[in-house]
Amino acid sequence: LAFQVKGPGIGLLGFSLGADICLSMASYLKNISATVSINGSGFSGNKPIQYKQTCIPPLNHDFRRLKVAFSGLLDIVDIRNDVIGRHENPSMIPIEKAQGPILFIVGQDDHNWRSELYAQIASERLQAHGKEKPQILSYPGTGHNIEPPYFPLCPASVHKLLNKPIMWGGEPRAHARAQEDSWKQILTFFCKHLGGTQNIASPKL
């Protein structure tokens, strides 16, 4: 794999909470030319997001909505408080302030939170503020942990917040295909918006 970009713009790539950090950076910092959000939420989750004098309140969660799967793993997809007001919710990151385009990558079988719904709400917000409709890549049978190609599926692990094993979702074949396709899409997106050149060699294992 050979991948080059040239300034002065910066590209950001984040996953889950890291994606929300990237969206926050793109919203408040200069020279962010392109951002990729992999299964991010676009909301301030468990803690407020603070930048200078700005404070975005958290959505918070309700553990009474925890579910236990047949496997015994916890399913936390519903524990976040309802997204009242959708794109006008005060807990949403002001992504309309981002200078560059945003690519949303979501797994339809994400059991951490409702990534596909959040990407749709983000699209609503951008368009409500006169921005172009963003690109959303939505993958069926794909869970929360969308990693680079050939990383094995992680269907469950211990969640730091709960200190208990939870399910992340994903069907092995579909998830693997999504990781391979999304990686190509990410490279294409960054090359287009950061002015680089792309040369993808055939992978060798």
3-state secondary structure of 9: coil
Structure-token match 């295909």, residue found: 177
Sign of the CA dihedral 111, 115, 116, 120? Answer: positive
Active site residues: 16, 110, 144
Return the beta strands (E) in the chain as ranges.
2-4, 10-15, 32-38, 49-51, 54-56, 67-68, 74-75, 102-107, 135-139, 156-159, 164-167, 197-199
SS3 annotation, 90-110: CCECCHHHCCCCEEEEEECCC
Tokens of 106: 């979501």
Q: CA–CA separation, 205 vs 194, rounded Å? A: 29
Which amino acid type is present at position 36?
V
Q: Are 188 and 120 in contact (CB under 8 A)?
A: no
Q: What residues are paired with 165 via a beta bridge?
A: 158
